[in-house]
């Protein structure tokens, strides 16, 4: 079993390294920092043509053009923000996988917390309502006596 998992991990690891080498190889860098920045960018920028792929994942022609452009800008010393701004100015916020916090994205950013708050409130309300029902109903004096009688009756041999 362990051997199987190890093999699996090895295969996954090899596949992954092959992919990342393939994307980087076509774009040679002398500077490690720039290479890291480039790698970060192409994994954060979304291909407008292919919707749910980064430009690093996508094989579309446009993704290659955008990678080339990113490479060119990074090589010329552009900061990460400058490259992202460049892309957003042309393709809109869609092109970046980290949408900015603004009025149109409030639902996206804060919606989950609102849902969580509503759910917690509902849980609290339900629990509070149920508690009194759980308490043992008190028996009146006559009921107590009757209870004792019944218990005694049960004890006596039949």
Partner 1 sequence: MKKQLFLLLPLLAFLAVGVFFYSALFSDPRELESALVGKPVPEFELPNLLEPNQTVSQQAFGDGPYLLNVWATWCPTCRAEHEYLNTLAAQGVKIIGLNYKDEPAKARMWLAQLGDPYVLNVMDYEGTLAIDLGVYGAPETFIVDSNGMILYRHVGDVNARVWQAKLADIYRQAGGL
Name the residues that contact partner 1, by CB under 8 A: 48-49, 51, 61-62, 65-66, 69, 88-92, 94
CB of 51 to partner 1, least distance (A): 6
Please identify, using beta-carbon distances, which residue of 10 and 118 lies nearer to partner 1: 118
Using alpha carbons, list the distances in angstroms from residue 46 to 59, 98, 126, 131.
12, 10, 44, 51
CB of 25 to partner 1, least distance (A): 22
Please identify, using beta-carbon distances, which residue of 31 and 65 lies nearer to partner 1: 65
Please identify, using beta-carbon distances, which residue of 89 and 136 lies nearer to partner 1: 89
Question: What six digits make up the tokens of 153?
Answer: 């009756």
Burial 41-50, CB ≥16 within 10 A → b, else e: bbebbbbbee
**Closest of 21, 29, 36, 23 to residue 72, by C-alpha:** 29
Please identify, using beta-carbon distances, which residue of 30 and 81 lies nearer to partner 1: 81
Question: What six digits make up the tokens of 52?
Answer: 């749910």
CB of 69 to partner 1, least distance (A): 6
The contacts of residue 93 (CB under 8 Å, 6+ apart) are 99, 100, 105
CB of 30 to partner 1, least distance (A): 25
């Amino acid at each position: 079993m362990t051997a199987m998992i190890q093999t699996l991990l090895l295969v996954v690891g090899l596949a992954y390294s092959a992919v990342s080498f393939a994307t980087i190889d076509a774009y040679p860098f002398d500077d490690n920092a720039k290479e890291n920045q480039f790698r970060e960018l192409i994994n954060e920028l979304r291909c407008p043509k292919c919707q749910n792929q980064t430009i690093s994942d996508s094989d579309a022609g446009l993704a290659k053009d955008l990678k080339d452009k990113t490479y060119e800008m990074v090589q010329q010393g552009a900061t990460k923000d400058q490259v992202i701004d460049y892309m957003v100015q042309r393709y809109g916020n869609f092109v970046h996988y980290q949408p900015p916090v603004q009025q149109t994205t409030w639902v996206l950013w804060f919606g989950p917390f609102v849902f969580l708050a509503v759910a917690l409130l509902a849980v609290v309300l339900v629990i509070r309502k149920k508690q009194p029902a759980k308490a043992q109903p008190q028996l009146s004096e006559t009921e107590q006596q009757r209870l004792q009688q019944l218990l005694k009756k049960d004890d006596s041999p039949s």
